[in-house]
Amino acid sequence: MKKVTVKHLTNKFKLGIFWGESILKDKYITVKDISRPALELAGYDAYYPKKRIQVLGKTELTFLASLDRAVQKERFKNLLLESVPCIILTRGFKPTNDMLDLAAKSQIPILGTDRTTTDFIALSTDLLDRDLAPTKTIHGVLVDIYGVGVLIKGQSGIGKSETALELIKRGHRLVSDDAVELRGIRERAIVGAAPKVLEHLLEIRGVGLINVVSLFGTGCVRSQKTVDLVINLEHWDEKKSYERLGLDRHFFTVLGVDIEMHTIPVAPGRNLAIIMEIAAMNHRAKKLGTNTPEDFTNNLNALIKGDEK
């Protein structure tokens, strides 16, 4: 299970520390969702999400302050379960002495931010989405072609990096060469990036490593990109039947997400860069509602039915 320390969150957003500075590095966040307790403060805690960060804003703290002091202490104490990573107060609110005493007894950090509750939840959710996302590193090249993230796969030496170089020369952008770090994020999407040691580097056999930024400029790279399409390169097999019309759909599954995949046979004389540009444009056209293979099939069927009549 991936986890993030409360100290990391504190440093990232420069949170104020009301109590628990010495234990921040020992408190872990394992769930990306954020809780804003409401029913729990009203006394109903049957479904309290105790593994989440608990955020208290103006509404929650004002309601809590309206209660009798003994009830306040009881309701706040019920939030301080052992598995709760931390309590965060927004909008510059400060904890009461009772809150601090209860937090110390329960060993739950209390932190604060001047941000609004909505802004802080949005920012922290985005951070945790990235840091807690399932990851996998695979062999391949990731390129941004016309805004479409294309992951190029294939056996070593088949020409993935050389194709990426040609695409860069044609104005497209490199994300990663040789190894691609993939992360599963919201809405079943996969985002790819380069490992730190390989950022902006491209390996060309016979030449060696080149720095794409140094040779082509910063406009030819990007730090990450959603993987929209997978191109699998393989040596041309005369005995194999390759897709002609594009009616059959194939997918590459990674981290539980199915991504559309085309298998492109490699043979002398084939311009792989142009083929990938066309594949990317065709993929984007399909997203906009234009499906040429289906249109062709429908038109052909209509023509055949017309002849039969």
Long-range contacts of 200-203 (CB under 8 A, 24+ apart): 200/174, 201/177, 202/161, 202/164, 202/165, 202/168, 202/174, 202/177, 203/161, 203/177, 203/178
Catalogue the E-assigned strands of 236-301.
250-254, 257-266
Q: What does the DSSP 8-state code read for residue 221?
A: B
Q: How far is 66 from 55, CA to CA, in rounded Å? A: 18
Tell me whether residue 154 is annotated as binding: yes
Strands 53-56 and 34-35: parallel
Which residues belong to the active site? 139, 160, 178, 244
92 is in an annotated binding site: no
State yes or no: 17 annotated in a binding site.
no
Number of H helices, E strands in the chain: 9, 19
Query: In Å, what is the CA distance from 164 to each residue of 131, 145, 161, 195, 204?
Result: 28, 10, 5, 17, 10
Q: Are 19 and 104 in contact (CB under 8 A)?
A: yes
155 is in an annotated binding site: yes
Phi, psi of 34 (to 5 degrees): -110, 140
CB atoms within 10 A of CB 126: 13
- Is 40 known as a binding-site position? no
Crossing angle of the two packed helices 58-65 and 69-79, in degrees rounded to 10:
140
181 marked as binding residue: no
**Is residue 160 marked as binding?**
yes
Sign of CA dihedral 62, 63, 67, 71: negative
* Interatomic CA distance for residues 153 and 140, integer angstroms: 5
In angstroms, the CA 56 to CA 75 distance is 13
Please indicate if the annotation marks 60 as binding a ligand.
Answer: no
Residue 83 labeled ligand binder: no
**Binding annotation:** 154-161, 203
The annotated binding site for ATP is made up of 154-161
Annotated binding site for Mg(2+): 161, 203
